[in-house]
Amino acid sequence: MADDILLDKGRFRARLARCPEDVRAAQNLRTLAFRTAETDRDDFDVTCAHVLVEDSQAGDQLVCCFRMLVMDSGSEISRSYSAQFYDLSALKSFDGRMVEMGRFCIHPDWTDPDILRVAWGAMTAFVDRNGVQLLFGCSSFAGTETAEYLDAFAMLKHRHLAPKRWLPRVKAPDVFRFAARLRRRPDARKAMLRMPPLLRTYLMMGGWVSDHAVVDRQLNTLHVFTGVEIGAIPAARKRLLRMIAG
């Protein structure tokens, strides 16, 4: 397998971007998926590795992409995209390699569940190759209204808040402090129905979240900081991910 191929499974292949044209293709897919008026690009695109998932049965059509920013330790946390929105000073003491996963999207015309599986298999291969100890990013809910997500946020409060030693603090001017405001017990079925698929996968790996959501009106999303300590992933889940990655 070539060095830039992370995973080749069935009709889907996940690989690292090789050239500026690959990065532009990822930006175009993000623009389509996020429905932005202008091309979705920023300065982080230059410093990140970009992962592309292509469909070999559709002429290598790009169907999913995300980007990864590797940091040697928590002392570099201020370099991250997430640090624009969250006070991450608690994570400065994290002793181990970290990677920020961002701008994850799937082509709106492709609904095959194997795409998400291959993407996570590729992420696992990337994490293993780079000796990463913490995976983190911003997990997004569509829209900026909280009402339809209250059970999901209540579930996050009751079961998935970050350990106090790593808990992100408020930095953005517009936030929904769900851990402080919500008193309801979550309806588990409604919560999981409204939980974004990417966040659901993080949580199944033992992931944790911030105690507030940032209201991002530019991207029309609500997002929570999400972290997964690689050493804390349940053994059965880790075996499954490595089976996919293998």
CATH level 2 (architecture), domain 66-245? 3-Layer(aba) Sandwich (3.40)
Collapsing DSSP states into helix, strand and coil, what is residue 223? strand
Output phi, psi for 81, to 5 deg. -60, -45
Q: HSE on the CB side for 77, CA within 13 Å?
A: 25
The CA-atom distances, in angstroms, between 179 and each of 158, 197, 214 are 8, 21, 13
Residue among 84, 82, 86, 45 nearest 67 (CA): 45
Question: What are the domain boundaries of the chain?
Answer: 66-245
Give me the pLDDT at residue 206, please.
Answer: 93
Confirm whether pTM is higher than 0.95: no
Q: Give 193-239 pLDDT, tens digit per residue.
A: 999 988 998 999 999 999 999 999 988 999 999 999 998 888 888 77
Cβ neighbours around 75 below 10 Å, total: 13
Q: What is the DSSP string of 129-162?
A: HHT-SEEEEEEEEESS--GGGHHHHHHHHHH-BP
Give me the pLDDT at residue 232, please.
Answer: 87
Output phi, psi for 137, to 5 deg. 175, -175
Give me the pLDDT at residue 1, please.
Answer: 52
